[in-house]
């Protein structure tokens, strides 16, 4: 693999990792604070993309679409929380997995009913169109750089909110020891609704950002959801910092693995089986990483919860 | 004696079904599918209900069994005397390898790690270009039984599935009633106390995991034969979620609940998909409602006073 290609793939991996972080951030807080497994977090990402694409088409502007999609995603998250998730906090993980699985079935089909089964397109805004020359003869799309920039800015904002504000302090305390926080007189349910809505909006934001470079279709949230789980397990459940590091790690490993594995396998195998085995191993890499973490370091990179 | 009534009625009903209005090709196909998924669900119920281990990767064992059929089929081996042992052994080995690692964790980490192994199996299946890759693989023929094409006959296939489902059920029930099952249940309730009386839950749980895997492999062989087609979607995590739902819908307290759950699931899916193209919009909320309000499951409904 040439250095140019490596650079492009590394940037792609970074951009993918940033999107994963936006999905995983909400998931890890919800999981950490309320011990609630939300499989339906991926549909928040999908809904964000659908809201963004259809609102951008309706208003004729990417930026208006983005701006309106965020409150729409927030609202969708709060409605789901009120209707379904609220009743599951006291239940075991099995019940949570199944009920939120039901939400996935409903919403994946729901978007098909509302927007049709055919993928939607969202145009790239004129401001971020075209490419930028990284090196002589090597163009990289500005929009993807824009995603990386927006994601890093969001991560910074999130760090500020979680590390420097009173609400953030309560969230961190809630992730470490929810019973204690509750005993100290904090309404943990209200705190959770806040965290939940914010997480839903972040996932929706990731969806809107991804909409112009992916096809917006039913079920598009399922893959990011599973990868977001990989991210939060590796990063340590409840840790924003862990989610950030792990998301970039997973994004880079997945993208670079897919690019490099077939070549790497060719060292041992004939070209055709090398391509197959390479593709298989590349898809598995992040799951192997997650399984290794679970088996040998179950608390993740940045453990949060105490005993 | 009372706890045998519901399963007996259930099996008698399945045995009589072909002669009670479900004898047409399509109805038989549907029933076979129900019994096969029910078999996998009984294995999963041993794990979830018996041992308290929630696996979100159980579809992978079905996939290993089904792909064993595919690999043998591509090499011209279609006799059940070879196919069945190879497929079951492959699924059991897969369960042994993944279970040995997964069982080092517990609770939510166990759900996640079984999901991870399930995904690995899924991507392996998708990359098997020689066996269809993403598009799946169509079998040349159904598995032969002692040189005869017994399974080609829908009615015979129905009773083969029913017989194997019955054997699976009796086997799991016996396993849960034996000392093995008592240790599993004790470890589910309080692993610390089990250790305190000098028993290590790990080998018991691993054996349960391997048994569930072997049953999944058997179900996989039948599933491949029922459809004469195998695709990576057999191993998707959504399929694992469906199997879990069957177990919960039927009720965790009993093994026949898993069969009831599979029956309810497949029939509901069938009925709703005839009503509307967007049947999942009804199915999803039903799933949520059943989790929220229907805690004892179908088996609990049929036998409210039955002790667990």
Give A89-114 pLDDT, tens digit per residue. 888 888 898 899 999 999 999 999 99
Helices (DSSP H) in chain A: which residue ranges? 3-34, 41-59, 62-83, 93-115, 142-164, 166-176, 178-183, 188-210, 222-235, 240-265, 271-296
Kindly state whether residue A301 falls inside one of the protein's structural domains: no
> Within an 8 Å CB–CB cutoff, is residue B176 touching chain A?
no
Kindly state whether residue A307 falls inside one of the protein's structural domains: no
Looking at residues B48-52, what average pLDDT do you find?
A: 89
Q: Which residue of A has its CA nearest to B133?
A: A276
Looking at residues B85-93, what average pLDDT do you find?
A: 96
Inspect the interface and report whether the beta carbons of A290 and B116 lie closer than 8 Å. yes
Element (H, E) at A141: strand A138-141
In the three-class reduction of DSSP (H, G, I as helix; E, B as strand; rest coil), residue B209 is classed as: helix
Domains in chain B (CATH in brackets) are: 2-302 (1.10.3470)
Residues of A with Cβ-Cβ distance to B123 under 8 angstroms? 280, 283-284, 287
Kindly state whether residue A302 falls inside one of the protein's structural domains: no
Kindly tell me if the per-residue pLDDT of B144 is higher than 60: yes
Cα gap A241→A244, rounded to integer Å: 5
Looking at residues B149-160, what average pLDDT do you find?
A: 84
Q: Quick check: B61 and B220 in contact, CB under 8 A?
A: yes
Maximum CA extent, chain B: 57
Of A91, A98, A108, the CB nearest to B280: A108
Of A103, A110, A290, the CB nearest to B288: A103
Q: Which residue of A has its CA nearest to B290?
A: A99
pLDDT at A208: 93
Is A61 or B300 the better-scoring residue by pLDDT? A61
pLDDT at A91: 86
Give B196-254 pLDDT, tens digit per residue. 999 999 999 999 999 999 999 999 999 999 988 999 999 998 899 999 989 988 888 78
Confidence at B275, pLDDT banded by 50, 70, 90: confident
> Within an 8 Å CB–CB cutoff, is residue A276 touching chain B?
yes
- Residue with token string 């819908």: B249
Inspect the interface and report whether the beta carbons of A106 and B292 lie closer than 8 Å. no
State the best of B101, B127, B238, B246 to mutate against chain A, taking most chain A CBs within 10 Å.
B127
Kindly tell me if the per-residue pLDDT of B103 is higher than 70: yes
- Residue with token string 């339906």: A40
Cα gap B67→B44, rounded to integer Å: 20
Kindly tell me if the per-residue pLDDT of A219 is higher than 50: yes
Inspect the interface and report whether the beta carbons of B104 and A295 lie closer than 8 Å. yes
Of A95, A230, A295, the CB nearest to B291: A95
Residue among B252, B248, B249, B275 at smallest CA distance from B264: B249
- Residue with token string 């159980």: B58
- Cβ-Cβ pairs closer than 8 A, A with B, add up to 126
Give how many domains chain A has, as a whole number. Answer: 1
Inspect the interface and report whether the beta carbons of A37 and B245 lie closer than 8 Å. no
Of B101, B238, B291, the CB nearest to A295: B101
Kindly state whether residue A305 falls inside one of the protein's structural domains: no
**Least Cα separation, residue B262 to chain A (angstroms):** 15
Chain A neighbours among B 235-274 (CB < 8 Å)?
237-238, 241, 244-245, 248
pLDDT at B105: 85
Inspect the interface and report whether the beta carbons of B116 and A230 lie closer than 8 Å. yes
- Token duo for residue A185: 């007189």
Residues of A with Cβ-Cβ distance to B237 under 8 angstroms? 226
> Within an 8 Å CB–CB cutoff, is residue B47 touching chain A?
no
Cα gap B285→A107, rounded to integer Å: 10
Residues of A with Cβ-Cβ distance to B120 under 8 angstroms? 284, 287-288, 291
Inspect the interface and report whether the beta carbons of A84 and B288 lie closer than 8 Å. yes
Give A73-87 pLDDT, tens digit per residue. 999 999 999 999 888
State the best of A277, A298, A299 to mutate against chain B, taking most chain B CBs within 10 Å.
A298
Looking at residues A175-194, what average pLDDT do you find?
A: 83
Element (H, E) at A134: strand A131-135
Inspect the interface and report whether the beta carbons of A99 and B292 lie closer than 8 Å. yes
Q: Quick check: B290 and B249 in contact, CB under 8 A?
A: yes
> Within an 8 Å CB–CB cutoff, is residue A253 touching chain B?
no
Give A247-278 pLDDT, tens digit per residue. 999 999 999 988 888 888 888 888 777 877 78
Confidence at B168, pLDDT banded by 50, 70, 90: very high
Phi, psi of A135 (to 5 degrees): -140, 165
Inspect the interface and report whether the beta carbons of A295 and B112 lie closer than 8 Å. no
pLDDT at B1: 60
Kindly tell me if the per-residue pLDDT of A307 is higher than 50: no
CB neighbour list of residue B121: distance below 8 Å, 6 or more residues apart: B57, B60, B63, B64, B94, B235
Kindly tell me if the per-residue pLDDT of B304 is higher than 60: no
> Within an 8 Å CB–CB cutoff, is residue A115 touching chain B?
no
Q: Which residue of B has its CA nearest to A273?
A: B129
Range of the domain at A52: 3-296
Return the minimum-mean-pLDDT range out of A18-27, A109-118, A211-220, B2-11.
Answer: B2-11
Looking at residues B180-208, what average pLDDT do you find?
A: 92
**Least Cα separation, residue B18 to chain A (angstroms):** 32
Q: Quick check: B139 and B230 in contact, CB under 8 A?
A: yes
> Within an 8 Å CB–CB cutoff, is residue B97 touching chain A?
no
Beta bridge partners of A32: none
CATH at A24 = 1.10.3470
Confidence at A18, pLDDT banded by 50, 70, 90: very high
Mean pLDDT over all residues of chain A? Answer: 87
Q: Quick check: B157 and B32 in contact, CB under 8 A?
A: yes
Kindly state whether residue A120 falls inside one of the protein's structural domains: yes
Q: Quick check: A103 and B287 in contact, CB under 8 A?
A: no
CB neighbour list of residue A269: distance below 8 Å, 6 or more residues apart: A277
Cα gap B242→B240, rounded to integer Å: 5
Mean pLDDT over all residues of chain B? Answer: 88
Kindly tell me if the per-residue pLDDT of B306 is higher than 60: no
**Least Cα separation, residue B90 to chain A (angstroms):** 19
pLDDT at A280: 81
How many other CB atoms are there within 10 angstroms of residue B305's CB atom?
Answer: 5
For residue A139, the number of C-alpha atoms closer than 13 Å in the C-beta half-sphere is 6
State the best of B112, B232, B238 to mutate against chain A, taking most chain A CBs within 10 Å.
B112
Give A142-170 pLDDT, tens digit per residue. 999 999 999 999 999 988 988 889 888 88
In the three-class reduction of DSSP (H, G, I as helix; E, B as strand; rest coil), residue B269 is classed as: helix
């Amino acid at each position: 693999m040439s250095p140019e290609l490596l650079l492009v793939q590394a940037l792609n991996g970074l951009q993918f990792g940033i999107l994963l972080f936006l999905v995983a951030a909400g998931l890890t807080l919800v999981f950490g604070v309320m011990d609630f497994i939300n499989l339906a977090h991926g549909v928040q990402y999908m809904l964000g993309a659908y809201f963004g694409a259809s609102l951008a088409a309706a208003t004729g502007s990417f930026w208006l679409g983005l701006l309106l999609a965020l409150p729409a995603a927030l609202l969708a998250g709060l409605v789901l929380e009120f209707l379904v998730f609220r009743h599951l906090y006291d239940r075991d993980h099995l019940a949570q997995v199944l009920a939120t699985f039901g939400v996935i079935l409903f919403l994946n089909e729901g978007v098909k009913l509302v927007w049709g089964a055919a993928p939607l397109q969202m145009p790239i805004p004129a401001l971020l169109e075209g490419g930028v020359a990284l090196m002589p003869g090597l163009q990289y799309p500005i929009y993807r750089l824009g995603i990386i920039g927006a994601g890093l800015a969001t991560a910074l904002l999130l760090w500020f909110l979680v590390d420097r504000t009173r609400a953030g302090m309560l969230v961190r305390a809630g992730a470490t020891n929810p019973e204690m926080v509750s005993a100290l007189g904090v309404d943990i349910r209200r705190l959770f609704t806040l965290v939940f809505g914010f997480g839903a909006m972040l996932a929706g934001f990731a969806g809107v950002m991804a909409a112009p470079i992916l096809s917006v279709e039913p079920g598009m949230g399922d893959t990011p959801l599973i990868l977001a789980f990989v991210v939060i397990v590796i990063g340590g459940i409840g840790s924003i910092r862990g989610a950030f590091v792990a998301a970039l790690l997973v994004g880079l490993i997945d993208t670079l693995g897919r690019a490099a594995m077939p070549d790497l396998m060719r060292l041992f195998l004939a070209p055709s089986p090398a391509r197959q085995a390479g593709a298989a191993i590349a898809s598995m890499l992040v799951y192997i990483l997650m399984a290794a973490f679970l088996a040998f370091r179950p608390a993740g990179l940045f453990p949060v919860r105490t005993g | 004696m009372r706890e045998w009534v519901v399963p007996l009625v259930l099996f008698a009903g399945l045995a009589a079904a072909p002669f009670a209005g479900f004898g047409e090709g399509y109805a038989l196909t549907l029933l076979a599918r129900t019994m096969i998924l029910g078999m996998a669900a009984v294995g999963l119920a041993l794990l979830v209900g018996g041992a308290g281990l929630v696996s979100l990767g159980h579809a992978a064992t079905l996939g290993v069994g089904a792909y064993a059929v595919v690999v043998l089929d591509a090499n011209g081996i279609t006799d059940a005397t070879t196919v069945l042992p190879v497929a079951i052994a492959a699924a059991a080995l897969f369960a042994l390898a993944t279970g040995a690692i997964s069982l080092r964790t517990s609770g939510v980490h166990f759900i996640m790690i079984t999901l991870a192994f399930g995904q690995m199996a899924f991507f392996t299946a998708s990359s098997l270009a020689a066996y269809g890759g993403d598009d799946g693989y169509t079998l040349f023929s159904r598995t032969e039984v002692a040189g005869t094409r017994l399974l080609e006959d829908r009615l015979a296939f129905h009773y083969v599935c029913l017989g194997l489902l019955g054997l699976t059920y009796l086997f799991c029930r016996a396993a849960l009633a034996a000392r093995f099952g008592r240790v599993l249940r004790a470890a589910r309730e309080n692993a610390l106390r089990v250790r305190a009386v000098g028993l290590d839950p790990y080998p018991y749980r691993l054996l349960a995991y391997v048994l569930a895997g072997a049953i999944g492999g058997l179900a996989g062989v039948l599933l491949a034969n029922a459809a004469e087609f195998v695709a990576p979607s057999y191993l998707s995590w959504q399929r694992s979620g469906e199997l879990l739902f069957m177990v919960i819908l039927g009720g965790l307290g009993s093994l026949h609940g898993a069969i009831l759950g599979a029956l309810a699931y497949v029939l509901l899916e069938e009925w709703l998909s005839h009503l509307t193209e967007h049947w999942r919009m009804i199915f999803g909320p039903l799933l949520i409602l059943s989790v929220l309000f229907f805690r004892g499951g179908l088996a609990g409904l049929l036998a409210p006073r039955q002790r667990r």
